[in-house]
Structure 1
Amino acid sequence: MITIKDVARRAGVSISTVSHVINGTKHVSDETADKVNRAIKELNYKTNIFAKNLKSQETKRIGVVVLDMCGLFFPYVTREIFRIASDNGYGITIYDTNGDFEQEKAAIRDLADNYVDGIILSSTVHMDQKEEYAKWLHQLLDNGPKSIPLVMLERDFSSYGFDSINTNTYIGAINAMQHLIDSGCRHIAHIRFPREKEGRYRAYCDVLENNHIPLDMSYVEPGDLSHISGYNCMKKLFQKKIPIDGLFTVNDQTAVGAIRAIQEEGYRIPQDIKVIGFDNVFICSNLNPPLSSVHLDKNELGARAIHALLARIQGTAPEEPIKDTLDSYLVVRTSTDLNAPPVNNW
């Protein structure tokens, strides 16, 4: 293991000088500081820098791992996490996994290696892997020099010992699908995220069944949450030459691309095809036509996640894992109802 003596030897300075540079306890010349910092980098001394906080075992860093920072959803969530963490004296390190499970695991390992004080995770793990993944997380986070608490975002891992902050996407999706059917739709397509038994997809299937409409998988296309995916998936649906009078998308960004494809094909929205998105981001009010969407409180989601994590870090959380679920509700605009009143939230 690299020690402070190794850093001092590499930089050609005393151990006390290295300590002063690391802790900022005494002024040293810029030239000397550069030598020490260069030696720290060359020797990968980051692990041992944690040793200066061994008494408190705090780094004042929190890791946030999300599946898509380029989308329209997570920037709101992470902004609120950053604001509250900063107010409480913590810095934030954000990882974007782009929905890749191996990148997600690599990010968790890196955060554990850097002894962050806690982690907020939006996972892409499949439902049938939850138990195995929870065991892996516990082994990684509970067995180091300190136990690192983790809060799961938008996935319920409370039964596996992790605090979980979720949104009731299923109820929101139920309302969205029923709205399409009540509006006269009988041939409803769905662009989904390829996650098994995901709430929005389950709602799609359940509402069809409850309204005695057979589930036809030719109406379902898996996407990746992006506008490009929405466009391509809608094009694939049109290529099947199936009648479509309604579309329910996994998120608003997907709906943006799908709407472009619909309009390129010469269909009118909502007269020919009614469209509903999910998340109710700012762009919904600015599309033509404005997009009906299921509202999720993104700021509140981020706030509850960071408050739960801070409580766990500071030892004030309940002994049992927190399971907190936010409500969702449908906002109707003219993409499904020409007579809908204006709703401006951008």
Structure 2
Amino acid sequence: MTTIRDVAKKAGVSVATVSRFLNGNGYVSQEAATAVKAAVEELNYELNTVARSLTTKKSNLIGLILPDITNPFFPELARAVEDVALTYGYTVVLCNSDEDPKKEKNYIETLKKKYIAGFIVTSNQLDAPHYANLKLPVVALDRVINERIPTVVSNNRQGGFMGAQALVDRGSKNLLFLRGPEEFGSANDRYIGFGEAMEKNSVTYETVFCPFHFAEAEKIVEQYLHDNKDIDGIFASSDVQAAGALKAAHNLGLAVPKDLQIIGFDGISMGEMLTPALTTIAQDIYKMGAIAARVLIKQIEGQPIENFMNEIPVNLVVRGTTKGAVT
């Protein structure tokens, strides 16, 4: 196995010079740098990243904290973060917090000991000061944590309005809105947008709180539809909720979209696999993850950040759970 001493001998320089070159720490002449680089390539030397991190107190690791890996939205975000990080030479460490503050804090403390380069956070279980005082680069993704922390989100308020209006435009008169958890700012913004659409239209509506989980959404919607047979349109705060609503409609023998129209929110690929395929307010999930990764890497590498708030537009994708024609 090739060692740093072998590289130094081949390049005709000291071990200390090789170390400074590899770690990017300290002065190395152009002549020496060229010699070391040639020796590294000729000997096929691979730097021990663990040893390097112990020496420099830095690593090429990025921590990605997700609240629920079973929700298809978050793996799609993670894919984009990982793709971009790899192109810049960083490795993503995936942390599934299960929306548990203790678990989330444990991930942070553990990765800090591994000299993590920075964090991308899609959870707001820990209070903002904890992240603001972390003394490491942090980007908030799909959540607003603190005005001092760069953030990447969709225009959730716009999406809430668009989804509600789309149901009204397609003839729904009695709507049910599945509101997401109150602790999620994105869910609250969708609720605000929905409310703005309701103020504009003469329709009746009800709102129920619903977790972003398929089985719970199915149970809540099935009971509600059983007790309220006049509901003819459901707008869900997530595609997973919408999938649960679709299953509930099937359980009750309701035809979608003839008897009941359903719109979700997220634009995950799973929506196309449902029968009928899900109409949704689509976020540009890949773009969100990619921007978050680039913003974090800029912080890590000391480059200026142009925008601390990155709000990505959403769009309505019409599929089989709504009527195609606008009335």
TM-score range, shorter chain: 0.7 to 0.9
Where does residue 154 of structure 2 map in the other structure? 167
What one-letter code is carried by the residue in structure 2 that aligns with 1:186?
K
Deviation at 1:212, TM superposition (A): 4.5
Deviation at 1:100, TM superposition (A): 2.9
Where does residue 106 of structure 1 map in the other structure? 106
What one-letter code is carried by the residue in structure 2 that aligns with 1:109?
E
Partner Cα distance (2:109, 2:208) in 1: 33
Where does residue 30 of structure 1 map in the other structure? none
Where does residue 230 of structure 2 map in the other structure? 243
What one-letter code is carried by the residue in structure 2 that aligns with 1:317?
P
Q: In structure 2, do the counterparts of structure 1 residues 275 and 206 end up closer, same or farther at CA, with 3 Å as the change threshold?
A: same
Where does residue 23 of structure 2 map in the other structure? none
Q: In structure 2, do the counterparts of structure 1 residues 228 and 124 end up closer, same or farther at CA, with 3 Å as the change threshold?
A: farther
Where does residue 313 of structure 1 map in the other structure? 300
Where does residue 142 of structure 2 map in the other structure? 154
Partner Cα distance (1:244, 1:187) in 2: 5
1:12-66 deviation line (CA, Å, top 9, x unaligned): xxxxxxxx9xx96589xxxxxxxxxxxxxxxxxxxxx978546643111110001
Where does residue 195 of structure 2 map in the other structure? 205
Where does residue 20 of structure 2 map in the other structure? none
Partner Cα distance (2:99, 2:191) in 1: 18
Could you list the runs of 5+ residues in structure 2 that have no partner in the other structure?
7-48
Q: In structure 2, do the counterparts of structure 1 residues 102 and 187 end up closer, same or farther at CA, with 3 Å as the change threshold?
A: farther
Q: How does 1:44-59 map to 2 (within 5 A)?
A: 53=53, 56-59=56-59
Tell me the TM-score normalised to structure 1 length: 0.74
**Equivalent pairs, count:** 281
> Counterpart of 2:281 in 1: which secondary structure?
strand
> Counterpart of 2:246 in 1: which secondary structure?
helix
> Counterpart of 2:173 in 1: which secondary structure?
coil
Q: In structure 2, do the counterparts of structure 1 residues 224 and 106 end up closer, same or farther at CA, with 3 Å as the change threshold?
A: farther
1:86-109 deviation line (CA, Å, top 9, x unaligned): 222211111112233343333223
Where does residue 136 of structure 1 map in the other structure? 130
Deviation at 1:168, TM superposition (A): 0.6
1:274-294 deviation line (CA, Å, top 9, x unaligned): 100111222222322221101
Where does residue 335 of structure 1 map in the other structure? 321
Where does residue 80 of structure 1 map in the other structure? 80
* Mean Cα deviation higher: 281-290 or 172-181: 281-290
What one-letter code is carried by the residue in structure 2 that aligns with 1:163?
P
Tell me the TM-score normalised to structure 2 length: 0.78
> Counterpart of 2:263 in 1: which secondary structure?
strand
What one-letter code is carried by the residue in structure 2 that aligns with 1:88?
Y
Deviation at 1:339, TM superposition (A): 5.1
* Mean Cα deviation higher: 98-107 or 176-185: 98-107
Alignment pair present for 1:296 and 2:283: yes
Q: Give yes or no for contact 1:158–1:321 (8 Å, CA) kept in 2.
A: no
Could you list the runs of 5+ residues in structure 1 that have no partner in the other structure?
1-19, 28-48, 143-147, 341-346
Identity %: 26
